[in-house]
């Protein structure tokens, strides 16, 4: 019982300074709901929005100063309204706020958010994401992807069309492992967000879909990946047991054709009815470390649940 109480009180300790990046979209609403459910009362939350520079939206000649001034006032007003809407959603929770006016600070939205997170020493950025394009909807891939790629802290992405409720904390958490130290860091971090009632699942994917190598080579690689996967899953189970938790483990395989690791991960999350996917990332590409680079990015784009990308700051510092 003492162990369970310890775990419950640990919820939220992994992230003490949470920066919620918002605009006026429905994706932001889902992200804000999730941030409130997961972190309100357990972390300091700073809500940040970016007011675009009207010159980048409606490029006009120097004679249009009045028009630009009116456009800027409208854009800043919309940004303040977005902050006020989030404040209403978090009624009863103390928040910090930040508005970045690109008419003054210049640059682009991704750079502005990354700078704000760095200067505030955020250990987590929460953002909404969509799969469609929009001129003023900066929480889509054109912003979330470069932020995820370049951020020095972890990132929680919440899809606008999430198939799971975003007004409740995660209860069925899937950890995707690749055998690296970063995925173990992600597992340890994710455990701090669980409660005694949370169900956990750790998965490792063996990629069998290949058209560029002959059968013998593929067989040797698959055997090596199977061994690595068993080792990674056994370690994950032992780490959870040390924390008084049980985790299911599964060694997954891609189909032999027309399939890849991101699709295999997302299928498993859907089949198991997971409501949060946790991935470790160190921002470095590597043949044997598939939970980085394009694989992580494609997994995020496919996901229909919130995705927590845990940044291993120790590894990043070693690579710097």
**Same-domain pairing of 45 and 120:** yes
Q: What is the pLDDT of residue 60?
A: 58
**How many secondary structure helices (H) and strands (E) does the chain include?**
12, 10
**Same-domain pairing of 210 and 313:** yes
**Same-domain pairing of 151 and 216:** no
**Same-domain pairing of 73 and 148:** yes
In a domain, 66, yes or no: yes
Query: Each residue of 259-289: pLDDT tens digit?
Result: 899 999 999 999 999 999 999 986 544 333 4
**Same-domain pairing of 14 and 154:** yes
d(CA 212, CA 95): 53
Q: What is the CATH number of the domain that holds 202?
A: 3.40.50.620
In a domain, 204, yes or no: yes
Residue 316 CA: distances (Å) to CA of 23, 147, 182, 300: 29, 15, 10, 21
Looking at 134, 159, 184, which one is the last position of a domain? Answer: 159
d(CA 177, CA 76): 43
**Same-domain pairing of 144 and 59:** yes
In a domain, 164, yes or no: no
H/E element, 310: strand 307-311
In a domain, 279, yes or no: yes
Q: What is the pLDDT of residue 72?
A: 84
**Same-domain pairing of 224 and 127:** no
Q: For the whole model, what pTM was predicted?
A: 0.86
In a domain, 101, yes or no: yes
**Same-domain pairing of 259 and 192:** yes
**Same-domain pairing of 189 and 154:** no
The Cβ of residue 136 has, within 10 Å, a number of other Cβ atoms equal to 11
H/E element, 231: helix 215-242
**Same-domain pairing of 20 and 110:** yes
- Number of domains observed in the structure of the chain: 2
Q: What is the pLDDT of residue 110?
A: 92
H/E element, 194: none
Looking at 159, 191, 218, which one is the last position of a domain? Answer: 159
In a domain, 286, yes or no: yes
Tokens of 206: 């063996």
Listed as ranges, residues in the chain with pLDDT below 50 are 1-12, 132-140, 284-292, 315-320
In a domain, 166, yes or no: no
**Same-domain pairing of 185 and 296:** yes
Looking at 159, 183, 198, which one is the last position of a domain? Answer: 159
d(CA 170, CA 291): 22
3 state DSSP class of 264? helix
Tokens of 198: 């949370």
Query: Each residue of 163-175: pLDDT tens digit?
Result: 999 999 999 999 9
- End-to-end C-alpha distance for the chain, whole angstroms: 43
In a domain, 196, yes or no: yes
Q: What is the pLDDT of residue 139?
A: 42
**Same-domain pairing of 152 and 179:** no
3 state DSSP class of 219? helix
Give residue 133's domain range: 8-159
Q: Which residue has the tokens 């929480």?
A: 139
């Amino acid at each position: 019982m003492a162990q369970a109480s310890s775990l419950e009180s640990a919820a939220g300790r992994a992230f003490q300074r949470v920066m919620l990046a918002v605009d006026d979209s429905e994706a932001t609403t889902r992200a804000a709901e999730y941030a409130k459910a997961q972190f309100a009362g357990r972390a300091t939350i700073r809500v940040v929005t970016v007011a675009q520079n009207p010159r980048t939206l409606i490029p006009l000649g120097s004679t249009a100063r009045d028009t630009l001034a009116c456009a800027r006032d409208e854009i800043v007003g919309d940004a303040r309204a977005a902050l006020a809407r989030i404040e209403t959603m978090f009624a009863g929770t103390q928040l910090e706020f930040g508005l970045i006016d690109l008419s003054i600070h210049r640059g682009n939205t991704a750079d502005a958010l990354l700078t704000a997170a760095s200067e505030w020493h955020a250990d987590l950025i929460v953002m909404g994401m969509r799969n469609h394009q929009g001129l003023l909807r900066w929480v889509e891939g054109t912003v979330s992807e470069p932020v995820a790629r370049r951020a020095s802290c972890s990132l929680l992405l919440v899809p606008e069309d999430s198939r799971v409720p975003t007004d409740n904390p995660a209860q069925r958490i899937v950890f995707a492992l690749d055998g690296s130290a970063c995925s173990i860091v992600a597992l340890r971090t994710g455990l701090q967000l669980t409660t005694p009632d949370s169900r956990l699942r750790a998965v490792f994917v063996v990629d069998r879909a290949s058209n560029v190598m002959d059968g013998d080579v593929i067989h040797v690689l698959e055997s090596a990946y199977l061994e690595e996967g068993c080792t990674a899953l056994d370690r994950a189970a032992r780490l959870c047991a040390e924390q008084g938790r049980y985790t299911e483990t599964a060694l997954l395989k891609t189909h032999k054709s027309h399939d890849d690791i991101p699709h295999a991960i997302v299928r498993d999350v859907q089949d198991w009815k997971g409501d949060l996917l946790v991935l470790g990332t160190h921002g470095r590409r590597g043949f044997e470390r598939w939970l980085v680079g394009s694989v992580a990015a494609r997994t995020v784009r496919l996901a229909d649940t919130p995705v927590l990308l845990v940044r291993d700051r120790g590894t990043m510092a070693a690579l710097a």
